[in-house]
Amino acid sequence: MKIACLAMTDFRNYRELALRPGPGANAFLGPNGAGKTNILEGLHLVTTGLSHRTASDREMVRHGTDAFSVRAAVLRDATPERALSLQVIYRDGRKLFRRDRQVLVGRARTEALGAAVVFSPDDLDLVKGPPAKRRAFLDLTLAKADARYRTCSRRYQAALAQRNRILAEGGMQPAQQALLEPWTEQLIEQGARLLEYRLRGMAHLIPAAVQAYTALSGPCAEQLTALYVQAVPPTDASLHSGPPPGRPEIEAHLRHSFAATARDERLRGVTLAGPHRDDVQLLLDELPMRLYASQGQQRTAALALRLAEMSFLRTVSEEHPLLLLDDVFSELDQGRRRALLDLLSLDRCSQQTFFTATDLGGLPRLEELALSVFEVKDGTVNHAVSA
């Protein structure tokens, strides 16, 4: 997938922006705070329907206005001769999605039309941050791959909010227990769907991340391991080893989990079982990376997760996802910069890439890239040179 042109109106710090990127690597250069990251966010939003930075659409509206528009002409890998028009509009508190001027509703509104992968300095939180960060990574990856995951996740969160409300109001009373049951059943049903998606996704993501970590660090590097850890450990070993289990097995496990935590839930007034409390544990030579890995090792593991995401999305969508690299190279030593460039294959131009930096200093092998350079300053973008 490639972006032929991008137009943004009243999005973040941009009053108006019209941009024609190159088909290969595109560099956005400028000082901190100039709006480089906002361009990457607009690209992610228009190709996936989601922001990678915020869950609030209102936050993306330019200060002093009440609506925004992001529009792009997209060339799909399968039909590069025909541009597909995509547009995201926010107004009156609602976000609209258009494809070729047709407003999409229902499942089509959130259907993943393409894919984009963002690398950023904040990715360090994927390793050293709380479990919510790793769940968010997994949820966003799966949502970009399949619109049904988004629907399932929304239903799960709605049922969870209702169940938590009842527990907080006094779930130990018999009448409250009767109110809990239907919401528990909804959590089991939707939670099993979520877990099925997650476990199948992890079956692809884990080996891809291990392979990427080794490629970035060298063959003598420590061994990366990633495990999906459920809030209540499964009694059946097949749920956490071997091929991903089916939905009936997962539902049975969740039913057991809710029964096992029922007393503590009533005492604490909150739901203690279910995929909203799960984690992805990252280990280096069998030790938790969050506690024992150096910052360089943690950053390399975060990059490996993003590379695994890229591989997964490319497999399920049969599209080359957009690569959005937000000030990534400045955080890496020279060896890892070269290794990352090799893994991304930026010199082959099969994948369109957008990266931000204050300047091009320290970036190796620039002469091998089909590079378009844009200068960003105070909400304006100018095409500088092409290499």
Q: How far is CA 327 from CA 47, 54, 330, 356, 373, in A?
A: 21, 19, 6, 5, 15
The DSSP bridge pattern shows strands 353-357 and 25-29 to be parallel
Of 330 and 45, which is predicted with more confidence?
A: 45
Strand partners, 2: 75
Residue 217, pLDDT score? 86
253 burial type by CB count under 10 A (0-12 exposed, 13-18 middle, 19+ buried): buried
Residue 220: pLDDT band with limits 50, 70, 90: confident
Q: Which two tokens stand for residue 321?
A: 């996802």
Query: Taking the C-alpha atoms of 319, 320, 325 and 330 in order, what is their torsion angle to the nearest 10 degrees?
Result: 150
**Architecture of the structural domain at 121-318:** Up-down Bundle (1.20)
Residue 204: pLDDT band with limits 50, 70, 90: very high
Residue 112, pLDDT score? 45
User: What CATH class does 1-115+320-387 carry?
Assistant: alpha beta
Residue 136, pLDDT score? 93
At residue 353, does pLDDT exceed 60? yes
The model's pLDDT over 83-137, given as tens digits with 9 standing for 90+, comes to 889 999 999 999 988 888 788 765 555 554 568 899 888 899 999 999 999 999 9
- Do residues 190 and 152 touch, judged by C-beta distance below 8 A? yes
The model's pLDDT over 257-273, given as tens digits with 9 standing for 90+, comes to 999 999 999 889 999 99
Residue 71, pLDDT score? 96
Which one-letter amino acid corresponds to residue 356? T
Residue 147: pLDDT band with limits 50, 70, 90: confident
The model's pLDDT over 53-85, given as tens digits with 9 standing for 90+, comes to 998 999 999 999 999 999 999 998 888 888 889
Of 307 and 371, which is predicted with more confidence?
A: 307
* Of 31-35, 210-214, 241-245, 335-339, the least confident: 241-245
Residue 288, pLDDT score? 94
Average pLDDT over residues 220-232: 88
Which one-letter amino acid corresponds to residue 217? S
At residue 21, does pLDDT exceed 90? yes
| 175 vs 191: CA distance, rounded Å | 25
At residue 348, does pLDDT exceed 80? no
What are the boundaries of each domain within the chain?
1-115+320-387, 121-318
Average pLDDT over residues 38-64: 92
Average pLDDT over residues 194-219: 91
Contacts of 138 (CB under 8 A, 6+ apart): 198, 201, 202, 205, 280
At residue 202, does pLDDT exceed 90? yes
pTM given for the model: 0.86
- Do residues 135 and 191 touch, judged by C-beta distance below 8 A? no
- Do residues 28 and 354 touch, judged by C-beta distance below 8 A? yes
Proportion of the chain above pLDDT 90, given as a percent: 55
Over the chain, what is the mean pLDDT?
87
Q: Which two tokens stand for residue 29?
A: 């250069």
Residue 349, pLDDT score? 52
**Nearest 5 degrees, angle CA 379-CA 380-CA 386?**
135
